[in-house]
Structures are given as C-alpha cells and as structure tokens.
Amino acid sequence: MKNRLVYMDNGATTPVREEVLEAMLPFLQDQYGNPSSLHTQGREVRRAIDEAREKTACVLGADPAEIFFTSGGTESNNLALRGTARKQASAGHIITSGIEHHAVLEVCHDLENEGHRVTYLPVDRFGRIDPAAVEAAIAPDTFLISIMAANNEVGTLQPILEIGTLAREHGILFHTDAVQVVGQRPVNVNDLPIDYLSLSAHKFNGPKGVGALYKRKGVKITPLYRGGSQERKLRPGTENVPGIIGLGQALELAAAEIPYKMEYLTSLRDQLIEGLLKIEDVILNGHPQERLPGNINVSFKYIEGESILLSLDLQGIAASSGSACSSGSLEPSHVLSAIGLDQQTAHGSIRFSLGRYNNEADIEYVLEKITPIVEKLRQISPLHKTD
Amino acid sequence: MKNRLVYMDNGATTPVREEVLEAMLPFLQDQYGNPSSLHTQGREVRRAIDEAREKTACVLGADPAEIFFTSGGTESNNLALRGTARKQASAGHIITSGIEHHAVLEVCHDLENEGHRVTYLPVDRFGRIDPAAVEAAIAPDTFLISIMAANNEVGTLQPILEIGTLAREHGILFHTDAVQVVGQRPVNVNDLPIDYLSLSAHKFNGPKGVGALYKRKGVKITPLYRGGSQERKLRPGTENVPGIIGLGQALELAAAEIPYKMEYLTSLRDQLIEGLLKIEDVILNGHPQERLPGNINVSFKYIEGESILLSLDLQGIAASSGSACSSGSLEPSHVLSAIGLDQQTAHGSIRFSLGRYNNEADIEYVLEKITPIVEKLRQISPLHKTD
Amino acid sequence: MYNEKVVDHFSNPCNVGELTDADSIGESGSFKCGDTMKIFIKVEDGRIENIKFQTYGCGAAIASSSMLTEMVKGKTLDEAMHITNQNVADELGGLPPLKLHCSNLAADALHNAIADYRRRLEPDYTD
Amino acid sequence: MYNEKVVDHFSNPCNVGELTDADSIGESGSFKCGDTMKIFIKVEDGRIENIKFQTYGCGAAIASSSMLTEMVKGKTLDEAMHITNQNVADELGGLPPLKLHCSNLAADALHNAIADYRRRLEPDYTD
Ligand SMILES: Cc1ncc(COP(=O)(O)O)c(C=O)c1O
Ligand SMILES: Cc1ncc(COP(=O)(O)O)c(C=O)c1O
C-alpha cells in the first residue's frame, strides 16, 4: 500500500505535459496526412512540422534550416559523431570525456575501431572537465570535440563556453550532448560556439522517441541512413509527426518557464541535498553548485543502490541508481568511477532528479522515508559497523 | 468549397485507428516511466512494450526475441541491409531489384561505394521480378537478396516465396521490405523463408515514426548506432513508447481483419480500375491481379500528374503521383520507368490507394469527379489532339 | 503549396485553346520535367489583340500560362517582350521555389511567338 | 521485476543480524556486483538451531538470504548442505534471470559456515 507517488526520476524521463499532448492529438486524429504528400492533408501536416521546427530553432537561437528531427538523443549523438567522422578524408583525432553518455562513448569506441584516435578526458572529483586539458589534448588532426553540456548522472555542468571557444580557435568542430540541459537551462547557439547540439523531447516533458540535432549551417555530415528526402536527406523516413509536434510544443513551453523553474528546482534540490547530508555517511556526488537545477546524486555508504531504490519504490518514490540506461547492468557506473568513487560507494549511489511537478511536500516525504530505509538496510549490511 | 473528403492515399500513410490511439494515450499520460527504470513506473512500461513485442511477433509467426522496434520502415531497411553488409568479412555481392523503395535502393548505392557489388534486377511490364533472374544473378559471394514484398507505387506483389526459397537453397540471406504488405495481406515467417522483414506502423493505421525489423534468430547484424541497451543493443535509445504500443495494437487489429479487408478492398479496387479504364487513353500500371488489395495506379495520357492531383485535391480527393516520397521531385518515378513507361506517360500517372475507411460511395465520387478533370486538362494540353 | 491566386488561375484558366487565325505560334518546353507550352497570338496594329495557350504541365505551369495571357492581352509587342517570367510569378503572388522553373515556360513561349512574328513580318527585325 | 514473495522477504527479512554465540560464520561474495553475505549459525544436536544473516546487496540478495535462513532453520546440517541456490530461488517463486547470481550467495555462505563448523568440530569430516 503506497501512501503517495513521488516521481523523482526526471533525469530518466519526464511526464508529457497536458498542453503538449493536446498539441499532439490532432496529429493522431484528423491531421493524418503524410507531410510529403502534395494534397491538402499532406500540406497541413508539412506546415505543422515547419512550425515545430521554427519553435525549436527559436528557442535555441538557431535558424530553422539548422534543426533536424531525429528519434531521440541517442540518434542525434550518433548522427553528429559518426556523420562527422565519415566526412573526414582520413582517420583523425577526436576529443571527448570519460563521463559522456553511452550514446557518445560507444560511438567513439566504434570510431576507434574504424581507425580514428579518441582521447577520453578525465574529470575532477566534482565531475568537471578542465578546459586546459582539452587544449592540451588537441592534436594537429583533431577534427571533433564532443563534450556534454551537463552530466546525466551527477548533474555536473561543463564549461562548454570555454571548450567551444578553444575548439573554434583551433578550427575544430564542437558537438555538445545537451540532452540534460535543453529545457532546464538557457542554451543559445548565438552565445555559444557550438557546431552541433543534441536534444531529446522526453527530457523536457515532451514525448519519448523524438529528438533533434542542431547543426550549424555549413557543417557537413554524412547521414546514418538513406531513403526519402525528409529532413533534407539527413534523416530520411516518414516523420514522427505527433512526436515532432510534441517536441516543438514542449520545448517552447519549457523554455518560457526556465527562469522560474531553475530557481524553483534549485531551491528544492538544495533542500533535499541538505536533508540527505544530515544522514550519517552520505556523500554528495557531482559539483555542489555547478549542477543541473533538478539533480541530486548521493552515495549512501555500506548499502547497495538497488535495495535502496526498491525500498523507495515500495514507498512510492521513483528514483534511479546511476543513469536509467545503465541501471539494468551490474557494473558500477562509469561516471561514478570517473569521479573517483570506489566500487562500493558507487554502488550505494542514488539519483533523485526533480521536475516541474515536484514540490516541497515531495522533498519532505522523501526525507521522511529515506532515513529509516537507510537505517534498516545498514542494519542488514555486514559492512556497517554499529557501535 | 469542398463537397467531401475522400482520402485515397493510404499507400503514403493511413489514419490512426481510434482503438490504437486509445491504447497509446495512457503512455502519453500516466504511464510515463522510462522502460529502463527499475521502479514501478518503469516496470509497468517495460511490460507494455513486451506485450507489444509479443503481439507483433504473434502476427508474424515470429518469436518476440526476433522483433526489433525502429523509427519506421526506412530505418528497418537500413538496419537490415547495412547491418548485414557490415558483418561481412570482405566486400561481396547483393541482389535487389530496380523498383525497391529509396530506403533500399539508396542504401545499395552506398554499399556499392563501400566496395560491394549490387545487381539491380529488372522487372517485366507488370512490375514483376522473375525468380529465374534472381537465380541467374547469384554469384559465389552473394550474401544478401533484398526484394520487396509488394511495390509501393504500382502495387505489384513479388514472388517472395520463390525468391526466398532460392536464397535459402544457396545459403544467402533474404530480406524483404514488407512495409506495404504487413497489415494488408497475411505474412507469416513460418511459411516464408524470410530472414528479415521491414514493417512500418503508419501503413496499417498505426502512428508515424515507428516500425519494426523482424530478424530471424541467429542472423547477425551490426547496429546502425550505439548507446543504451534498448532493443538488445540493436537499436539503442529511449523507446518511442506510445509509438510501439500503437504499433502493436494496430498490427493486431489489422491482422484480425485481413481476410475481410482484402476482399473488401479488392472489390473496391477493381470497381475503381474498371471505371477509370472507361476513360479514353488511360492505362493501368502494375499487375492486373497480383497487386495490393488497395492499390490502383493508372496513367492518364497527355496530361500531367501534379495538375491532376491538384484538381483532385480541389474536389477533396487525396491521391498521389508516384510514391509520396518522390512526388516532391521532378524526375519520373524509377518504378514507372522500370516497367517501361515513357516519360510522358509516367508523368501522367496517379496512385489511388484505398484503406479501411473507404467505401463504394468514395469510388463513385472519384469516378464522377475524375472524368471532367481529365477532360478539362486534356483540353488545355497541346499534346492531346481533339478531332 | 500554391496561393489562392495560383489555384484560381489553375482552376479557371483564361485564354485556353488554339487560335485558328493566329498570326504566330510560339512554343517552349522543359526537358527536365517534360512540361510543354504553346502560345497563339493574333496581332493588330502592333498590339496583341488576342492570345490563347495550351499547356501540358503542373499547376504552376498552367496558372502561369493563364496569368501571362491576361497580362499581355492588348499590350504592344514591345511591351510584351519586356514581360519576364519573374513578372508572371510576381503577378501570381509568388510560386514555390521548386516550381519557379515552370513559370519560365510561359514568357519563353510568348517571346518565341513574337520573335517569329517579327522575323516574318517586320523586315528590319533582328533578334 | 520481483514477485510478491521476494518483495515480502526483502521488506520484512527474517533472521537479520549477528549471532553473538554463533558456532560458525560463513561468508560469500560476488566480485562482479560487490554483493557480500555473512551467515551465522548456532548448531545443536547436528541441527541448525538458530541462524542469522547480514547482507550487502540488491533486493534479490536480501530476499534470498531471508528465504534461505527460513528454509534451513531446524534442519540437520546434512539437509542444509543439500539446499541449493536454485532451491532458494524456487522457494521464492523465481527471480529475474539477471538476478539469479545474487541468490547464489545465500546458499554459498551457509555451506561455507557448515563446512567450517564441521572442519572444526567433526574430526572425520572431509570437504
Ligand atoms: C546526456 C544524455 N545523452 C543522451 C541520452 C539519450 O537520449 P534518448 O534516450 O532520447 O535516446 C540521454 C538520456 O538517456 C542523456 O541523459
Ligand atoms: C515499400 C516501402 N518501404 C519503405 C517505406 C518507408 O517507410 P517509413 O516511411 O516508415 O520510413 C515505405 C513508405 O514510405 C514503403 O512504401
């Protein structure tokens, strides 16, 4: 019997906003034309997609022709990295970090197999990449730097302005995986020397399975696959129309509330962090200030993450251990290892990620429930010395 | 002022069925968990995806582990072809036809650039591929045959049983692009020697932007892109949950009504064909019998397709000239050229594609409207001799 | 795709047909999309007294033909020679970029008709 | 993911803790996922008279520990030695395939405890 439901896994995915669903519905009902069709039904839908593209571009400070809709953050990352690598006349060098999402890291591994060299930069104990390390890593044949705007597990914001500036100074393309940041903090490609940026709708109260790649005009990439002429041939296939409409609507709404939401979530976040740190042997992972407004990542020593998650779940609290994608796996998260946590501490880490529907009562509820959970699991644990 | 709306472009896309939307809605509302999450909200959604996979598998006579959800037919084709090519130790030979969808043809062009050889088989004037030609084309290093189950423009069904049997006899993998057939005619991978099959939900009253690849157990392919472990790593990225649920539901419903719908559409189709052929200088493209139940493709001599489409559109009739994807282009369709139409006749071709919502009144309405349209455009045309 | 004016000219094209008593006939065609146009003119006192067209082509091609014939009726041959394809597209309120080449046909056919007329009937004419 | 019985044993695990008067203590651990388990047994007349456990690990590991201790309480050492990890998983009504290795810990720790006991107290014992 659950008392209530407190969803604190917004870093994994977010609920679709009602207004977003409303915007999508016509495209699951009457407006069913194929946007490539010449007839009225097709042209209406084409117009709606164009509008979604304009909204997306507007929020990012981009030109609509620089927005390419994809099936999500994973595809956007793959498209940017592989697409750029395939445009190179010969194998070259890529710089990324050791804490990127798998959708960047594993592509880099592939590219290594294809003959490119990749530098995986380390991070400090807060999860920050040092721009000086980026500069030091630049080789004469470095053609791409890919550094995420914020880490999905520990929430650390990266100095992408500095890194992008370095990239530009050296004539190197700069990609940022901004999946965790778009819709949460302002991102404007006019202020930032970014050549491409990945985003995913389901992280900002849009639908799952749709994302976008911003690609600065003039930057050339090879598509991942071929077919029709949709998305200017960069991403062929009949468009996920309701998804794209949902993305545009969700992004516009999210962008409008950023200033308010940042403040609101930051305050909730810090309350939760403060409360959690009152429990003995709890450490905060990630940077104390330079972190996503809604991200809280802590390690509970002596106990194991899944059992904490399960206990929370039994109280109606949804959180995650590590990233959603890797929580099915048994290995400690590569991010937590990279910030220097030993395996056991990494295994005891939990991410609470807040979203627009969380409130103070949620924070109180979590704090009320987590204390006895930790106590009980520690009682069971042979690692915890009670004396 | 339109009298009524008659949608006859179901080959381009179909309206989402109400029951399908209903099945999807919870996943755009309360059931928003990430299926990779361990908590209740995540597990509920995981279960729903598993069910959709089971439904899909059941309809195709496959095992759920043989179904991989994708973003549509285009991606499924790319995944099958590129994924297989990349598994080859060295460059080899592929057999396909000259009338495949661009999502097969253009991939083959890419694979040629990567060093493989591709045979593009010709078709007869009905658009049929001769199995004997397939056999004759087989080379010692042929590793893949890809032939569509039915053509999207002229509707011709291909002898995939014969071709698949040949492929198996020679130990060659066989892929079929069944995007136009699944949900319209029975397709069962137990009766057919198919190694992989592409399908797309929006062609059978499901949502746009979601499809599946059936891949027989044991057949190895390399993923197009990398990231999380979704779809057993063959197709990473947070799942298009509402899309997948919609696909499963739409396919189950479509499969159940196939026997009835085939008969119904075939009868409507033949009425429309009969009526159209009564107009002077009209020719039927594709095979008179061996064609998709809902496909009608005719050429109106002396007049041009777009002006016919536009005239139909002004009467509320939605049709297409050639395939939806290529109708934005100025070149005559590769399919119509392949069946031997001269450029002018090809330019005057129109596809009417019927779906479950069409009825006899629609057929009558189209026949009533098309005759004066053709007459008027011919009056304008300098190619038409009135004497 | 097309604006109302284009659709209007397409649906109810003006000056469709042949002129049996034409003074000159001009043709033009696009190899690329196969569009073909024929313009018939009747000239009187150096003015286009009557004009008709036949067009095989898309909506834009038909609408441009109709628009052009309306624009030049009653104009002098010199005035008509100055009408460009762009003028026709503009007068239609614009055409989709992909379709601009279709409006190119109309003025071309007219110019061919006029040039031919002058070659035959104006002894001091040089193209 | 977990069935009700597993969740129940996880939420209200039986026999948690240490036995200060244990006759033997057995440990086991998974290098892969870091799970660790300690089993304390009190033996009387060749029977497990009391048993307690401590577990660091996931839900499956904790539930298996609880289940196992319930299963073997009062059993002879021989009987207890015959209880396999699979028995524990079965008694729990099944575990997710990915989690089966966690239930492996429980029986292992118990067997270690018993083996150690016998090595020390049963002179004619050989593993
Ligand atoms: C930083 C980051 N990049 C990429 C992704 C992948 O996005 P998607 O799940 O939309 O493919 C995610 C989310 O899982 C993410 O957090
Ligand atoms: C035969 C065929 N293959 C592939 C596709 C591509 O499918 P999708 O638009 O879902 O990517 C289509 C539809 O356009 C098709 O008709």
Domain A6-14+258-379: which CATH class? alpha beta
pLDDT average, residue stretch B150-169:
98
Going from the C-alpha of C35 to that of each of B210, C26, C28, C38, D64, the distances in angstroms are 38, 14, 8, 11, 78
Q: Which of B28, B209, B229 sits opposite A325 (nearest CB)?
A: B229
What are the tens digits of pLDDT across the range C61-103?
999 999 999 999 999 999 999 999 899 999 999 998 877 777 7
DSSP string covering B159-198, please?
-HHHHHHHHHHTT-EEEEE-TTTBTTB---TTTS--SEEE
Cβ atoms of residues D47 and D75 within 8 Å: yes
State which CATH number among 3.30.420.40, 3.40.640.10, 3.40.50.620, 3.40.50.970 fits the domain covering A18-254: 3.40.640.10
Give the number of other CB atoms < 10 A from CB of residue C88: 26
Cα A57 to chain centroid, rounded: 19
Rounded to 10 degrees, the C-alpha dihedral A77/A79/A85/A86 comes to: 170
Query: What is the pLDDT, as a whole number, of residue A258?
Result: 97
The residues with which A174 forms a beta bridge, in sequence order, are A145
Report chain B's mean pLDDT, rounded to a whole number.
95
User: Residue B379: which of C11, C16, C37 has the nearest Cβ?
Assistant: C16
Cα A98 from Cα A333, distance rounded (Å):
11
Can you give the pLDDT at residue B155? 98
Phi then psi for A104, rounded to 5 degrees?
A: -105, -45
Q: How confident is the model at residue B329 (pLDDT cuts 50, 70, 90)?
A: low
**Band of pLDDT at residue B323, cut at 50, 70 and 90:** very low
What is the distance in angstroms between the Cα of A35 and the nearest Cα belonging to chain B? 9
Q: Does B380 sit within 8 Å of C62, measured CB to CB?
A: yes
User: Between chains, do B74 and A237 touch, taking CB under 8 Å as contact?
Assistant: yes
- Paired tokens of A215: 């690609």
Catalytic residue flag (residue C58) = no
B254-268 pLDDT tens trace:
999 999 999 999 999
Burial class (CB in 10 A: 0-12, 13-18, 19+), D31: exposed
The candidate with the shortest Cα–Cα distance to C72, out of C14, C29, C30, is C14
Which residues of chain A form CATH 3.40.640.10? 18-254
CB within 8 A of A264, min separation 6: which ones? none
Does A140 reach chain D within 8 Å, measured CB to CB? no
Distance A237 CA to ligand 2 centre (A): 7
Residue B326 is predicted with a pLDDT of 40
Contact B209 A72 (CB under 8 A): no
Give the residue ranges of chain A where pLDDT is below 70: 1-3, 322-330, 386-387
Q: Which ligand is nearest to the CA of A199?
A: 1
Rounded to whole angstroms, the Cα distance separating B37 from A319 reads 8
**pLDDT over 50 (residue B324):** no
Give the separation between CA A93 and CA A166, rounded to whole angstroms. 16
Q: What residues of B are labeled active site? A: 325
Please answer whether residues B355 and B14 qualify as being in contact, where contact means their C-beta atoms are separated by less than 8 angstroms: yes
| Spatial contact of B204 and B258, defined as CB atoms under 8 Å apart | no
pLDDT, tens digit, 9 for 90 and up, residues A203-242:
999 999 999 999 999 999 999 999 999 999 999 999 999 9
Taking CA atoms only, the protein residue closest to ligand 1 atom 5 is A73
Span C11-44, pLDDT tens digits: 999 999 999 999 999 999 876 677 899 999 999 9
For the residues of C82-108, what is the DSSP string, one character each?
A: H--HHHHHHHTT---GGGHHHHHHHHH
Give the mean model confidence (pLDDT) for residues D74-92. 94
Map out the domains of chain C with their CATH numbers.
Answer: 4-117 (3.90.1010.10)
Q: Establish if B140 touches chain C: CB-CB under 8 angstroms.
A: no
Residue among B69, B101, B323 whose CB has most ligand 2 atoms within 8 A, to mutate: B101
Supply A76's token pair: 């956007």
Residues of chain A with CATH 3.90.1150.10: 6-14+258-379
Q: Which amino acid is at B112?
A: E
Nearest to A38 among B202, B230, B306 (CB): B306
% of chain B exceeding 90 in pLDDT: 93
CA A37 to chain centroid: 34
Q: Using the structure block, give the residue that is written with the tokens 């989690």.
A: D99
Q: Are C36 and C57 in contact (CB under 8 A)?
A: yes
pLDDT tens, position by position, A71-81: 999 999 999 99
Residue B322 has pLDDT above 80, yes or no: no
Nearest residue of chain A to residue B305 (CA atoms): A38
CA A113 centroid distance within chain: 26
Q: How far is B235 from chain C (nearest CA, A)?
A: 36
Q: In this complex, do A382 and D54 lie within 8 Å of one another by their Cβ atoms?
A: yes
* pLDDT exceeds 70 at position B341: yes
Which tokens belong to B73? 């037919």
Cβ-contact B248, B51 below 8 angstroms: yes
